[in-house]
Amino acid sequence: MLLEIGIALLLAKILGHAMERIRQPAVIGEIIAGIVVGPFILGEFFGMKYLSPVTEGLGQIGIILLLFISGLEIGLDEIKAAGKNGMITSMFDVAVAFFFGYIAGYLLGYDVRTSIAIGNILVATSVGITVRTLMEMHALHSKVGELILTVAVLDDVLGILVLSFTLGRGEPALLIAKVALFFLIFVCVAFLINKIRDVKLHIPRFMLTAALSFSFIFSALAHDLGLAAITGSFFGGLALSNLPQRRRINEFVRQMGENFFIPLFFIWVGASFDFYALKDIGPLVLLFIPMALLGKIIGCSTGARLCGFKARDAFAVGVGMMPRMEVALVVVTTEITMGIFNETLAHQVLAATILLVIISSFITPVALKIVYKGEENQHSE
- Torsion angles phi and psi, residue 228, rounded to 5: -75, 145
CA 18 to centroid of chain Cα atoms: 24
- What phi, psi does 321 have (nearest 5°)? -95, 5
Q: Which of 158, 171, 166, 156 is nearest to 105 (CA)?
A: 166
Tell whether 49 is covered by a domain: no
pLDDT at 339 over 60: yes
Cβ contact 147:89 at 8 Å: yes
Do 361 and 133 touch, CB atoms closer than 8 A? no
Residue 267 lies in a domain: no
What confidence category does residue 381 fall into, taking pLDDT thresholds of 50, 70 and 90?
very low
Residue 119 or 328, more confident: 119
Identify whether 18 is part of a domain: no
Q: Provide the Cα torsion 31, 62, 275, 326; round to 10°.
A: -130
* CATH number of the domain where residue 81 is located: 1.20.1530.20
Three-class SS of residue 338? coil
Would you say 65 and 252 are in contact if contact means Cβ atoms under 8 Å apart? no
Say whether pLDDT at 326 is over 70: no
If you average pLDDT over every residue of the chain, what do you get? Answer: 83
Question: Could you give the percent of the chain with pLDDT greater than 70?
Answer: 86
Residue type, 151: V
Is 46 a domain residue?
no
pLDDT for res 380: 43
Residues above pLDDT 90, as percent of the chain = 28
**Contacts with 333 (C-beta within 8 Å, 6 or more apart), sequence order:** 350
Q: How confident is the model at residue 104 (pLDDT cuts 50, 70, 90)?
A: very high
pLDDT tens-digit map of 3-46 = 889 989 999 999 989 988 887 778 778 888 988 888 777 766 76
Q: Is residue 29 part of a domain?
A: no
Comparing 120 with 197, which gets the higher pLDDT? 120
DSSP 277: G
Over 80: is that where the pLDDT of 374 sits?
A: no
Distance from the first to the final alpha carbon of the chain: 52
Is residue 183 assigned to a domain?
yes
Domain of 254, in residue numbers = 66-260+284-380
Inter-residue contact 275 to 49 (CB < 8 Å):
no
pLDDT in tens, 234-290: 889 989 988 888 889 999 999 999 899 989 988 887 787 667 666 767 788 889 999
> Are residues 222 and 214 in contact, defined by beta-carbon separation less than 8 angstroms?
no
Task: Give the total number of structural domains in the chain.
Answer: 1
User: Is 4 among the domain residues?
Assistant: no
In a domain, 28, yes or no: no
Alpha helices in the chain (DSSP H): 2-21, 26-37, 42-46, 53-107, 112-123, 128-136, 143-167, 172-195, 206-224, 229-240, 246-256, 262-271, 284-306, 311-320, 326-337, 343-380
| pLDDT computed for residue 369 by the predictor | 83
Query: For residue 218, what pLDDT band results from cuts at 50, 70 and 90?
Result: very high
Compute the radius of gyration of the chain from its Cα atoms: 20
CA nearest to 28, candidates 380, 310, 367, 372: 367
**How many other C-beta atoms can be found within 10 angstroms of the C-beta atom of residue 77?**
11
The Cα–Cα gap between 184 and 46 comes to 49
Task: Spell out the residues 6+ positions from residue 130 whose beta carbon is closer than 8 angstroms to its own.
Answer: 148, 152, 320, 321, 323, 364, 365, 368
